[in-house]
Chain A
Amino acid sequence: MRGLALGILGASVAVLATASAFLLLASLGGVPVTSDPIPQTDPSAPGSPGPALVLKLPQDRLEELKMGPDQRLAVDVENGDDEELPIVNLALVVASENTTRPGTRYYWATTENVAPKEVATVEFEIDLSPPTPDENSEVGPRAVLPEDREMLEVRATTPGGASAIKTAVLTP
């Protein structure tokens, strides 16, 4: 019974930690700040420590993808830190660049116990087929331009706050 209580307590703490990490992440990149200007230059941060989490989307794997269902995409997650990462959460979003087009697809995965400097490979099975037209959706004539590009956005995060992101843009 004591074990069960401890387990539930541990799970709760993990949930809260994960939630906090994502809230922090969202606050870093997702606050609608109307007063912030669009900067003119690209400020770099020389001398900053290397990333604790490194995400890799190898080009050759992306090029093997076909615009259809049941596509497999392997994503590499490298632990750049000196300590083991107990858990790394990954989110993959597949969408068209057309903001009126429905059919954005979300995928999630986790990988555990990634040793320092180790690379873990996580495989997603994704659907890259065009979304079926939804008669009830607000889709205008702009929805079917052949020049529209597809996007795969992958985010990796840890409960400790480390994160990495890659966006692959696929031309038709």
Chain B
Amino acid sequence: MHFSNASQGVLASVKQLFSVALMLAFVAVLAPTGCGLLSEDAQEVVVIPPTSVGLTAGFSLGSGVRTLSFGPGNKSSPRVNPSGDRVAFILDGYAVEKPLYSQDFRRRTASDLGAESAEWLPDGSLAVSASKNETQTQGVETKPALSSLFVAPPEDYSNIRTLDDRIGATGAAPGSQAVFAAVVTSPPAAESPEEPLRSRPMILGGLEEPPKVYLDNIEGYVTSLSVSPDGSQLVLAVQRDVDETGSRATEDQGTGRYEIQVYRFSEGQATSLASLPKGMEILGAPQWTSRGVYFVASKVDTAEVEHNRDTTLYALYRVPEDSGIPELVRSVGEGFVASSISVSPDGDRLAVVGRRNPGSPTNLYVLDVTSDTLGVATANQNMEIKTNPRDLAWFPNGRSVVLVARGAFYGTEVYDDPAKSLSSAFYNLYEVPVENLTGSRRGSEG
């Protein structure tokens, strides 16, 4: 077939038009349909993958573990609602929720909140704790680090309500009947260096209910708290910053001593359960069980730890109800490295994220405190389980625990699926069944 020069020119124009049209169609159709990896609003709607793709070969938490979320984003602080059909969590600093077994994310706060944790309230709203950059004044970090507490209504995330901005710690009552917080009531150290830190418990029952602040002071700064399974008392990790004279210690004098205090609502006051040796630091919230208070803390004598080449810095301790003296929990085994704990709804079991010894992979264990037996719930294969105390929670029925993990790899991993369908590539939520556990489990339990 032959063409004249004019025809060839027309043909060239048509080819160019064809290419441009194709490209325009490509761009126009691709963008709105979600073929793009992330749009500006991608954090609001993440769709369910058509097939289960998530944990790829080489990355596993063991059989029976179910993936609860997919896709990019740093997820933390999962909390299952009382009816057990939705989970709220923090995604890249904002609160979201979704049905437990589908991938329909609903944003609950603005994306610039700096949220750290979210707890369910009875009316479906969320109590969201956030640490903002305001804790730093002119580049100097204020101590103690305080958080702000917000209530995010179920429907309108723009209508968030600020409750208090001097929060030391928060924790939910069993069945999410309420959220408790410790409000720092003493003035900042810069204003009143002589006055010791004091806190007061605050209870929050829902979006429409005004928070109630108990008038009794807790001496010290509440770094973390939990509510006993029967809901009758708060268990508090309290940092005392007073020196021998009773005035507030300076930062040069160290961070002060930790105490475990119990606040019984029936008595309306906090009492000291145990005072920890100087230098012993509590990690996360102490947990009230049917066999006393359990907590994770650093080992007392770091020099001795180093001398013995024992890199176990954090261990599981218990304060029996009648003694008031912390003791190492031996039933988890010598050398056990504990990271985070959470008591079961019935108060008889303790979920523990930790390692059998410093060289073992991190796994989820469940300690039956009534029989003092330890069962392993996960069989970690190349997964990095988050060890922040907030990143571990029980299902209300006590049959499962939710945790956060991602594949541990360095360099590059290539997958055959879109990013929104991947789970092990990013921090995602996993449901781990914890019934009928045995002492060891198939896989890399260590």
Chain A interface residues toward B at CB < 8 A = 3-4, 7-8, 10-12, 14-15, 18-19, 22-23, 25-26, 28-43, 57, 59, 62-63, 87, 89, 91, 93, 95-102, 104, 106, 108, 110, 138-143, 145, 147-149, 151, 153, 155, 165-171
Contacts and interface: CB of A to CB of B under 8 A. Distances in A.
Given A26-B34, A37-B102, A39-B51, 18 more contacts: A8-B17, A10-B18, A22-B25, A29-B50, A42-B52, A91-B30, A142-B74, A142-B92, A143-B93, A149-B425, A151-B425, A153-B418, A155-B418, A166-B414, A166-B415, A168-B414, A169-B426, A171-B412
A18 B20 CA distance: 13
Contact of A26 (B35, B49, B111): B35
A10 B11 CA distance: 12
Given A26-B35, A93-B36, A142-B93, A167 B10 contact: no
B93 A149 contact: no
Interface stretch (B65-73, B288-296, B310-318, B366-374): B65-73
Most buried by A among B10, B30, B39: B30
Contacts of B30: 22, 91
A42 B15 CA distance: 44
B37 A104 contact: yes
Interface in B85-106: 91-94, 99, 101-104
B132 interface: yes
23 contacts: A3-B7, A11-B22, A14-B21, A22-B30, A26-B33, A29-B418, A36-B103, A38-B70, A38-B102, A39-B52, A42-B54, A91-B26, A91-B36, A93-B37, A98-B92, A138-B110, A140-B114, A141-B114, A142-B93, A155-B418, A166-B416, A169-B415, A170-B412
B47 interface: yes
In terms of DSSP, what is the predominant structure of the interface of chain A? mixed
A144 B115 CA distance: 14
Most buried by A among B47, B54, B68, B99: B47
Contact of B48 (A26, A33, A140): A33
